């Protein structure tokens, strides 16, 4: 490391440039990781909070909650077992003084586990008709408050916010928990239609095929959330590409520097300085560059997290960020393989005689 | 005891179809305690001769014995070790790393060889003889050609090698300095029982040597 550090100190500009490049790439990787995680979370948070294993949907819905309707006759075929909760889901626009906020209305029954487990951070659970619980992002980002009234269409009932919950987002929209009756009023125009959207199962359903319905795992349903898997693969592709760019940049940079130093390395070899020592220094240099770059971009990422508006769906998840940093470091080691090989090939005899 | 013995050493460089006979059937023997100079015209094979002794080049034919052991049988790592512990090389150029200060050039050597380097007393003498006491904080590009060469000599001596091989070590020194370096080599050979072989163009320097050889057209003769 002696040589690595001395050289970096001596050629500050050169190494400053490459560290800057690594800082920018690492920063981009961190932000994309945060965005990928944040978006994925805001797609599935509410479902995750139910802590369930399976879901029963209409088989025509092809796994998509949004497209599923289960009639009361179909619902009756599902044998009851502990840990079942019916839900009704519809995408709505909450309207307050000309301002519209897209939201996901989820009707639930007060005698079932989703209602019972809703985590209230302010206010209380709904008890009466037209009372709802909303996700806190509607408070933070859209100006709603406990006690506010809003409609979801011109002829919908006026709902009153009686409770605030957290971590309740579905398909990037805040969840509005209402009674099943209120949901039916919004979706079907009447409280007397007995349809629901799905049945969430805490434990796997102990029942074979049911006509017209299908049971799938919660994970499968999450994959069918519109845009969810496409989004994830886009992010994975971008991050993977940036990692590849990191390898190439490190490899090119160290390779060029190594080529410039070959006559000196040849002399060092003549003097009996082991190839291993020189190789260790190049790998050390590559590690120093990336670790410095990661630390600086980590600080930038932290600052970003502090100033970014809460409406931006970005969540910096430590294990993920550390994982990404680990991958960048791995890339820098891979990037130093090529320059390392050229050091091993240096022939000390070339150092003598001045040519 | 350090001895170098070359038996029927030849070196042929082959570049495509052209063959250069750089060394022709060399017989040579040298013992420690001797300061040896070698002169000869440009292209005669002097550098090739040193490279073979230093194990940097493999001779096309013949045998190299160092301390009576065949040198060719050593593997790459053993040769590296031998160069680090036993040999001191002073080269024609590129001796100093551009991004290390003079004192760091010595520190680097110390990093890779911690033991059996020169003692403080001998080191001070070497530094004084070479007149480089005040250069510690300079980078090589802040030194004159002659200063660089003197630092390179000091660095080669830092490991306290038994055998010192030098290719034109005084090329950019004025004659007073060059004479001083030669006298230093002579003393190191006598007092510290080293074997020192110096290749030079300057015939006046041969007066300090215990033995003097000429290489002409790939053949060595004692002068
Ligand atoms: N790598 C090489 N490939 C081909 N020919 C070489 C190579 N190195 C040296 N030679 C040839 O071998 C001969 C001896 O070269 P060498 O470098 O030993 O000469 P020298 O006596 O050190 O010359 P100088 O005093 O100019 O340094 C020369 O004819 C040279 O052209
Ligand atoms: Mg030469």
Question: What tens digit of pLDDT does each residue of A67-88 get?
Answer: 999 999 999 999 989 999 999 9
Question: What pTM was computed for the model?
Answer: 0.84
Across chain A, where does the E strand assignment appear? 54-58, 84-96, 99-108, 120-123, 131-135, 149-150, 159-165, 169-170, 173-179, 198-201, 213-217
Q: Which residues in chain A have Cβ-Cβ distances shorter than 8 Å to B94? A: 263-264, 266-267, 351
The residue-averaged pLDDT of A202-220 equals: 92
**How many alpha carbons lie under 13 Å from residue A163 in its C-beta half-sphere?**
21
Determine contact, residues A86/A112, Cβ cutoff 8 Å: yes
- What values do phi and psi take at A96, rounded to 5? -145, 120
Query: Which residue's CA is the nearest one to ligand 1's atom 1?
Result: B13
* Domain ranges for chain A: 2-43+229-351, 71-196
pLDDT at A106 over 60: yes
Of B83, B104, B155, the CB nearest to A272: B83
Residue-level pLDDT at A351:
67
Residue-level pLDDT at A48:
96
Chain B contact present for A287, CB below 8 A: no
Distance A347 CA to ligand 1 centre (A): 16
Determine contact, residues A145/A172, Cβ cutoff 8 Å: no
Does any ligand 1 atom lie closer than 6 A to the CB of residue B118?
Answer: no
Which tokens go with A354? 């001045």
The residue-averaged pLDDT of B155-174 equals: 93
Chain centroid to CA A113: how far? 27
Chain centroid to CA A338: how far? 34
Angle at A253 between CA A247 and CA A255, to 5 degrees: 95
In chain A, which residue's Cα lies nearest the Cα of B166?
A352
Q: Which of B13, B48, B94, B148 to mutate to test the interface with A (most CBs of A within 10 A)?
A: B94
Q: Which residues in chain A have Cβ-Cβ distances shorter than 8 Å to B107? A: 2
Bridge pairing between strands B87-90 and B163-167: parallel
Tokens 């020189």 appear where?
A278
Residue-level pLDDT at A102:
96
Query: Which contiguous run of DSSP H or E holds residue A114?
Result: helix A113-117
d(CA A68, CA A78): 15
Residue-level pLDDT at A349:
77
pLDDT at B193 over 50: yes
CA distances for B4 relative to A77, B70, B205, angstroms: 99, 10, 22
Determine contact, residues A210/A56, Cβ cutoff 8 Å: yes
Summarised one tens digit per residue, pLDDT across range B95-151 is 799 999 999 999 999 999 999 999 999 999 999 999 999 999 999 999 999 999 999
In the predicted model, what is the mean pLDDT of chain B?
92
Residue-level pLDDT at B29:
94
Are B97 and A268 an interchain contact pair (Cβ–Cβ within 8 Å)? Answer: yes
In chain A, which residue's Cα lies nearest the Cα of B168?
A353
pLDDT at A353 over 60: no
- What values do phi and psi take at A145, rounded to 5? -135, 160
Query: Which contiguous run of DSSP H or E holds residue A310?
Result: none
In chain B, which residue's Cα lies nearest the Cα of A272?
B84
Residue-level pLDDT at B21:
94
Distance B11 CA to ligand 1 centre (A): 11
Are A6 and B83 an interchain contact pair (Cβ–Cβ within 8 Å)? Answer: no
Determine contact, residues A54/A216, Cβ cutoff 8 Å: yes
Distance B45 CA to ligand 2 centre (A): 7
Instruction: Render chain B in DSSP notation, one character per residue.
Output: --EEEEEEEEEEEEETTEEEEEEEEEEEEEETT-EEEEE--TTSSHHHHHHHHTTSS--SEEEEEETTEESTTS-HHHHHHHHHHTEEEE-SS--S-TTS-HHHHHHHHHHH--SS---HHHHHHHHHHHT-GGGTT--GGGS-HHHHHHHHHHHHHHT--SEEEEESTTTTS-HHHHHHHHHHHHHHHHHS--EEEEE-S-GGGGGG-SEEEEEETTEEEE-
Which tokens go with B71? 């040198």
For chain B, give the percent of residues with pLDDT over 70: 100
- What values do phi and psi take at A268, rounded to 5? -60, -40
**Which three-class secondary structure state does DSSP give residue A271?**
coil
Does any ligand 1 atom lie closer than 6 A to the CB of residue B14?
Answer: no
Does any ligand 1 atom lie closer than 6 A to the CB of residue B45?
Answer: yes
Does any ligand 1 atom lie closer than 6 A to the CB of residue B11?
Answer: no
Tokens 């060469």 appear where?
B149
Considering only CA atoms, which of B165, B161, B88 is closest in space to residue B118? Answer: B161
Count CB-CB contacts under 10 A for residue B185: 27
Q: Tell me the β-bridge partners of A178.
A: A107
pLDDT at A61 over 70: yes
How many contacts does A have with B, using Cβ atoms within 8 A?
A: 84
Residue-level pLDDT at A195:
95
Q: Which residues in chain A have Cβ-Cβ distances shorter than 8 Å to B48? A: 353
* Nearest-CA distance B170 → chain A (Å): 14
CA distances for B71 relative to A62, A268, B58, B206, angstroms: 77, 20, 10, 29
Window B:89-118, CB contacts with A under 8 Å: 89, 91-95, 97-100, 104, 107-109, 111-113
Which tokens go with B78? 């053993």
For chain A, give the percent of residues with pLDDT over 90: 86
Are A3 and B108 an interchain contact pair (Cβ–Cβ within 8 Å)? Answer: yes
Residue-level pLDDT at B19:
92
Q: Band of the pLDDT at B1, cuts 50, 70, 90? A: low
Chain centroid to CA A256: how far? 37
Summarised one tens digit per residue, pLDDT across range B60-103 is 999 999 888 888 888 888 888 888 999 999 987 777 999 999 99
Are B87 and A272 an interchain contact pair (Cβ–Cβ within 8 Å)? Answer: yes
Distance A355 CA to ligand 1 centre (A): 9
pLDDT at A254 over 80: yes
- What values do phi and psi take at A212, rounded to 5? 80, -5
Residue-level pLDDT at A272:
87
Tokens 């509005």 appear where?
A176
pLDDT at A354 over 50: no
Window B:200-219, CB contacts with A under 8 Å: none
A11, A12, A15, A19: CA torsion to nearest 10: 170
Q: Which residues in chain A have Cβ-Cβ distances shorter than 8 Å to B47? A: 352-353
């Amino acid at each position: 490391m002696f040589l690595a550090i001395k050289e970096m100190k001596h050629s500050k500009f050169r190494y400053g440039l490459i560290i800057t490049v690594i800082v920018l790439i690492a920063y981009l990787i961190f932000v994309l990781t945060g965005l990928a995680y944040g978006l994925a979370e805001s797609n599935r948070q509410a479902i995750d909070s139910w802590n369930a294993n399976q879901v029963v949907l209409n088989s025509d819905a092809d796994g998509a909650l949004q497209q599923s309707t289960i009639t009361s006759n179909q619902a009756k075929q599902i044998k009851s077992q502990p840990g079942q909760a019916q839900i009704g889901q519809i995408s709505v626009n909450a309207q307050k003084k000309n301002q519209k906020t897209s939201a996901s209305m989820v009707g639930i029954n007060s005698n079932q586990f989703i209602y019972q487990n809703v985590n209230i951070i302010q206010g209380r659970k709904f008890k009466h008709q037209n009372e709802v619980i909303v996700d806190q992002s509607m408070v933070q980002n859209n100006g709603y408050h406990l006690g506010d009234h809003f409609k979801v269409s011109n002829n919908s009932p006026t709902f009153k916010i009686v409770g605030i919950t957290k971590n309740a987002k579905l398909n990037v929209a805040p969840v509005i928990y209402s009674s099943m009756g209120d949901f039916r009023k919004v979706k079907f125009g009447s409280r007397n239609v007995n349809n629901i959207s799905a049945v969430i199962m805490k434990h796997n359903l102990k029942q074979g095929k049911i006509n017209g319905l299908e049971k799938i795992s919660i994970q499968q349903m999450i994959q069918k959330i519109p845009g969810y898997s496409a989004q994830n693969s886009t992010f994975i592709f971008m991050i993977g590409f940036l990692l590849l760019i990191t390898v190439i940049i490190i490899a090119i940079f160290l390779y060029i520097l190594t080529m410039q130093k070959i006559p000196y390395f040849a002399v060092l070899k003549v003097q009996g300085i082991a190839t291993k020592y020189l190789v260790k220094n190049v790998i050390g240099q590559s590690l120093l560059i990336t670790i410095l770059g990661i630390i600086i971009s980590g600080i930038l990422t932290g600052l970003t997290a502090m100033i970014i508006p809460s409406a931006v769906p970005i969540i910096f998840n430590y294990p993920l960020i550390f994982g990404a940093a680990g991958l960048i470091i791995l890339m820098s080691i891979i990037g130093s393989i090529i320059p390392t090989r050229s050091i091993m090939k240096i022939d000390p005899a070339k150092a003598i005689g001045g040519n | 005891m350090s001895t170098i013995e070359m038996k029927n050493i030849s070196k042929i460089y082959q570049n495509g179809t052209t063959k250069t006979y750089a060394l022709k059937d060399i017989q040579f023997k040298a013992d420690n305690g001797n300061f040896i100079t070698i002169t000869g015209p440009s292209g005669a094979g002097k550098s090739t001769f040193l490279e073979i002794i230093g194990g940097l080049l493999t001779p096309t034919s013949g045998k190299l014995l160092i301390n009576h052991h065949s040198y060719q049988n050593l593997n790459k790592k053993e040769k590296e070790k031998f160069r680090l512990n036993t040999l001191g090389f002073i080269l024609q150029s590129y001796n100093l790393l551009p991004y290390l200060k003079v004192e760091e050039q010595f520190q680097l050597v110390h990093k890779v060889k911690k033991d059996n380097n020169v003692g403080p007393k001998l080191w001070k003498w070497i530094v004084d003889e070479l007149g480089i006491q005040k250069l510690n904080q300079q980078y090589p590009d802040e030194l004159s050609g002659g200063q660089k060469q003197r630092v390179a000599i000091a660095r080669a001596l830092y490991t306290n090698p038994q055998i010192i091989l030098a290719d034109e070590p005084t090329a950019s020194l004025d004659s007073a300095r060059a004479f001083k370096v030669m006298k230093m080599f002579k003393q190191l050979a006598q007092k510290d029982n080293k074997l020192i072989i110096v290749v030079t163009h300057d015939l006046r320097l041969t007066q300090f040597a215990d033995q003097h050889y000429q290489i002409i057209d790939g053949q060595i003769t004692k002068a």
